[in-house]
Chains A and B, each alone.
Chain A
Amino acid sequence: MTQPSREKLEHFTGGHEVGVDVAAIERELSALWRKASQDGHLAVSRACAWNLVFCCLEPGSHPVAKTLAEGVVAAVPSRTLIVHHQPRAEGAEVEAYVTAHCRLSPEGGKLLCAEEITIESRRTGFAHVPALLRALLVPDIPAALVCVGRPPEERALGDALTLGFDQLVVDTRHAEGPSELSRIERLWAKSRVSRLADLTWLRLSPFRLALAGMFDPPNGPEPLSRLRRIAVTCAADGLATAQLFVGWLAHALSWRRLRANSEREWEAATSAGPVEITVAPSTEPGPFGLSEVSLVTHRDERLRLKQLSAAALDIDASFAPARRIGAYAHTDAELLVAALGTRGRDRLYGQALRRALELSSDAAPRGEDEGAAEADR
């Protein structure tokens, strides 16, 4: 049951101090609980496991955030704060309104799953957002900052980044190339958040696990040390996904150096010689970010992973029987739920990201051990 309730807490026209009555937000939420209980004459319980702050800085990101929030709170009851900034919109600099989502619990009483507070900021109103968030975050509950859309510049988030979040979540699926990927490192460094999760990284899990599984016993990992060529097929705007995947390989296989010869032709320096890496666009990118990965070794051993459906990957290898494995494609909401759990503190991501950034044209050459401590943070 959704109980929308819109209330303008403070509204000042341009030229005056802008303020939002935070106490009124809390009163409104309490009123919503009472309304929920009175509607059905049932008891209402409050559950809150996370503060989720969705930051919408891009046009079109607000509805994406709403959909994501509704999907997440079905699994993780939370107070959701959606910050929707519109730098050129007319109207009050800061407005807020509240919504509560309820769903039936098995015992018959309604369970309040989510309180959703939308903060709309316009023009310079974003400057007030950090203070509002400080007041509205539920105490003693962890807080996650979810950047909706392409990774923002850290200066765009300002002081909102340093509110003491426990988790930072990004999605680099549509990041435009290496330079936007490097924003993640800067965001992470400024936020001092201990947990960083990237939905793209989680989306890659089926391919990573499937590839890793091909080199378990009895096949063994030896072919990995004599790779000659890797071909990755991804969405036309999914270069960042391919980068992360190759960054993971570079870290896991201790390649010396990654270099971009062109936007889609890369090269890895390994102890066995150079490995050519090509990235081809796919017209049907599929749910995993990649649709196909092929490996060839110096001994002409071949392996191909190809997405077959939203639930299966086909694996063909010259050194092992062909097989088809389950590869359940998760929605973005499911990935975000995973990011709020143990998968949100995957150190491997930081290591893969650092190697992936070597493909950025403005990246300085990195040694093997350089920055390892930061990646392990």
Chain B
Amino acid sequence: MDVVNPLRAGLTGTRFPEPCAAVIFGASGDLTRRKLVPALYTLAAERLLPPAFAIVGFARQGMTDAEFRSEMRKACDKYARHRPVDDALWASFEQGLHYVRGDYDEPAAYARLGALLERLDAEKGLAGNRIFYLSTPPSTFPVALHQLGTAGLVQRGRPKPFTRVIVEKPFGINLETARTLNRQALEVLDESQIYRIDHYLGKETVQNLMVLRFANGLFEPLWNHRYVDHVQITSAESLGIEGRGGYFEQAGILRDMVQNHLFQVLAITAMEPPVTLQADDLRDEKVKVLKALRPIPPGRFDEFVVRGQYGRGSVGGKKQVAYREEPGVAPDSNRETYVALKLHIDNWRWAGVPFYLRSAKAMPKKVTEVALVFTEAPLRLFGERFAAEHSPNVLAIRIQPDEGVSLRFGAKVPGNTLDIQPVNMEFRYGTSFGTEPPEAYERLLLDAIVGDQALFTRGDEVEASWRFIGRILDDWAARTDAPVPAYESGTWGPSEADLLLKRSGHAWRRL
């Protein structure tokens, strides 16, 4: 926003969002209660929302404004980062909460929505700016987008007043559907109006990965094939599918986690420094990484991809049933709850460096991290005095929980002999800064309001990741009789995944 207001000049650390209305489709759902409205309330409490702002919930369930406000108050009481909710502030915030009942394919509902938005424009001075958040099943995206266009609620390519549409993942279920969805979206919007959310990009430590690389002169010279032996990216969850059998049977972990979250983390880890932090410059570099992924040779997928499915076991001291025993899951299901990939990025920076990605359910603990395992010193001067047989230097970026960065190196053990032990030098966000970072959705919603797309995925990024993942899915679909190894819940996955690394002399980090 251009600074035409002299009182804004020199104000530090603030972005100045314009007045707008945020319409949440699927407002009766879980995401609205647990994340979206609590995030918006927190932004309001931190004075980050524009003074003129309204939230309209849109869903099939019948509800009055008062009922919606009451539900959202309960949600904020439970999930907002700023608790307890301030009564005086809430009294004002809830005046901006409204509700429209309607079906996603009901033109009359969009007409009602449009009439309400126009009234709110006049009452609150919202200037006609709109953000539409599609917190609905992916199958409804095309319908909702079409109806928004037909009702004139979005205008393609018009910068002011702005209209933006935020879309939740998954964006498509394969390359073809992703392309179709992109095409349908571009019929009513242009790319600058489409915000494909991947909440991993809103996480503090994912952004810290960029800061670590590009704000320090120390690491970037080492961040390449000369010094990095291999990279491990892990996203492990301790929980099972938690009753989402119907969804998971269709999706699987490759679609649910790898195609989006892990590939975004991979892209940020491997990308070249962008020329600026503007959205497209950043996303250009991420797309280059995804386009440089070496396709897995036909017929050799088993050398590069391992999948698994959790069996019975124990996690966190509690019994975990097998995946096939979960509600909504077929007793002979072959859907993967574990996947490990060995990837190569064919560019100058990373030629010859394997990237190992894994994501899984029912792991011993929840952890997401990126680890750069460095090459060993060219000469082992200290030979057997190194306590561990193989202790390369490791730079590990812990994304969750207990976010932070650690560096492992060898240090001399105090004493008269020259013994060397690996030690960790650690920085932990929670114990170093002591302040709570914003929730990912707070950051992402604010970015959408101010029009910053840097932390949202672009259409070509989505298609590039589906292009790679789609070949794996096609191979699995062609070999439905191929066994899916089981792994005991509470372990780190099937032994086949260990072999994936062992062939190259590598091993998974113990997390």
A binds B: yes
Which positions in A face B, CB cutoff 8 Å? 45, 47, 49, 74-77, 105-107, 111, 113, 206, 208-221, 224, 249, 252-254, 308-312, 315, 320-321, 323-328, 337, 342-343, 346-348, 351
Which positions in B face A, CB cutoff 8 Å? 1, 4-14, 16, 18-19, 44-47, 49-52, 82, 86, 88-89, 91-92, 123-125, 127, 401-402, 426, 428, 430-435
**Contact among B1, B4, B11, B124 for A208, CB-based, below 8 A:** B11
Contact B431 A111 (CB under 8 A): yes
If A325-B47, A327-B47 touch, does A45 touch B4 (CB 8 Å cutoff)?
no
Q: Tell me the complex Cα distance, A323–B44, Å.
A: 12
Contact B11 A209 (CB under 8 A): yes
Closest residue to B121 on the A side, CB-wise? A218
B44 — which chain A residues lie within 8 A by C-beta? Answer: 325-326
**Contact among A47, A217, A308 for B431, CB-based, below 8 A:** A47
Contact A311 B432 (CB under 8 A): no
If A75-B434, A77-B432, A105-B428 touch, does A348 touch B89 (CB 8 Å cutoff)?
no
A74 — which chain B residues lie within 8 A by C-beta? Answer: 434
B50 — which chain A residues lie within 8 A by C-beta? Answer: 213, 216
Q: Tell me the complex Cα distance, A325–B4, Å.
A: 22
Q: Tell me the complex Cα distance, A164–B430, Å.
A: 30
A343 — which chain B residues lie within 8 A by C-beta? Answer: 12-13
Q: Tell me the complex Cα distance, A348–B7, Å.
A: 11
Indicate the member of A74, A249, A321 with the most B CB atoms within 10 Å.
A321
Contact B125 A321 (CB under 8 A): yes
Indicate the member of A206, A215, A308, A311 with the most B CB atoms within 10 Å.
A311
A334 to chain B, nearest CB (A): 9
Contact A311 B89 (CB under 8 A): yes
Contact B12 A324 (CB under 8 A): no
B401 — which chain A residues lie within 8 A by C-beta? Answer: 106
If A252-B6, A309-B86, A351-B10 touch, does A326 touch B47 (CB 8 Å cutoff)?
yes
A-B contact pairs, 8 of them (CB 8 A): A75-B434, A217-B127, A219-B125, A315-B51, A328-B45, A328-B47, A343-B13, A346-B10
A254 — which chain B residues lie within 8 A by C-beta? Answer: 6
Contact B127 A212 (CB under 8 A): no
B511 to chain A, nearest CB (A): 13
If A77-B432, A212-B8, A351-B10 touch, does A312 touch B89 (CB 8 Å cutoff)?
yes
If A208-B11, A217-B18, A346-B12 touch, does A320 touch B125 (CB 8 Å cutoff)?
yes
A216 — which chain B residues lie within 8 A by C-beta? Answer: 1, 5, 8, 16, 18, 50-51
Q: Tell me the complex Cα distance, A236–B307, Å.
A: 71
If A309-B86, A347-B10 touch, does A324 touch B433 (CB 8 Å cutoff)?
no
B52 — which chain A residues lie within 8 A by C-beta? Answer: 321, 323
B12 — which chain A residues lie within 8 A by C-beta? Answer: 342-343, 346, 348
If A312-B92, A325-B47, A343-B13 touch, does A221 touch B86 (CB 8 Å cutoff)?
no
| Top 6 A-B pairs, shortest CB-CB distance | A324-B92, A75-B434, A212-B7, A348-B10, A311-B86, A326-B45
Contact A76 B433 (CB under 8 A): yes
Contact B5 A324 (CB under 8 A): no
If A106-B402, A217-B127, A218-B19 touch, does A47 touch B89 (CB 8 Å cutoff)?
no
Closest residue to B434 on the A side, CB-wise? A75
Q: Tell me the complex Cα distance, A113–B431, Å.
A: 8
Given contacts A323-B52, A325-B47, A328-B47, 15 further A-B contacts (CB under 8 A): A77-B431, A107-B402, A206-B47, A208-B11, A211-B7, A213-B50, A213-B51, A216-B1, A217-B127, A221-B6, A309-B86, A320-B125, A326-B47, A326-B49, A337-B435
Contact A105 B431 (CB under 8 A): yes
Contact A214 B51 (CB under 8 A): yes
Contact B51 A311 (CB under 8 A): no
A94 to chain B, nearest CB (A): 32
Contact B127 A224 (CB under 8 A): no
B482 to chain A, nearest CB (A): 40
A285 to chain B, nearest CB (A): 18
Contact B47 A209 (CB under 8 A): yes
**Contact among A45, A210, A342, A351 for B13, CB-based, below 8 A:** A342
Contact B8 A49 (CB under 8 A): no
Closest residue to B47 on the A side, CB-wise? A326
A323 — which chain B residues lie within 8 A by C-beta? Answer: 51-52, 92
A106 — which chain B residues lie within 8 A by C-beta? Answer: 401-402, 428, 430-431
Q: Tell me the complex Cα distance, A224–B11, Å.
A: 17
Q: Tell me the complex Cα distance, A321–B8, Å.
A: 20
B7 — which chain A residues lie within 8 A by C-beta? Answer: 208, 211-212, 215, 221, 224, 249, 252-253
If A206-B47, A217-B18 touch, does A224 touch B6 (CB 8 Å cutoff)?
yes
Closest residue to A215 on the B side, CB-wise? B5
B51 — which chain A residues lie within 8 A by C-beta? Answer: 210, 213-214, 216, 315, 323, 325
**Contact among A219, A326, A348 for B46, CB-based, below 8 A:** A326
Q: Tell me the complex Cα distance, A13–B7, Å.
A: 58
A49 — which chain B residues lie within 8 A by C-beta? Answer: 432
A172 to chain B, nearest CB (A): 19
Q: Tell me the complex Cα distance, A328–B45, Å.
A: 7
A142 to chain B, nearest CB (A): 15
Q: Tell me the complex Cα distance, A101–B13, Å.
A: 31
B47 — which chain A residues lie within 8 A by C-beta? Answer: 206, 209-210, 325-328
Closest residue to B96 on the A side, CB-wise? A323
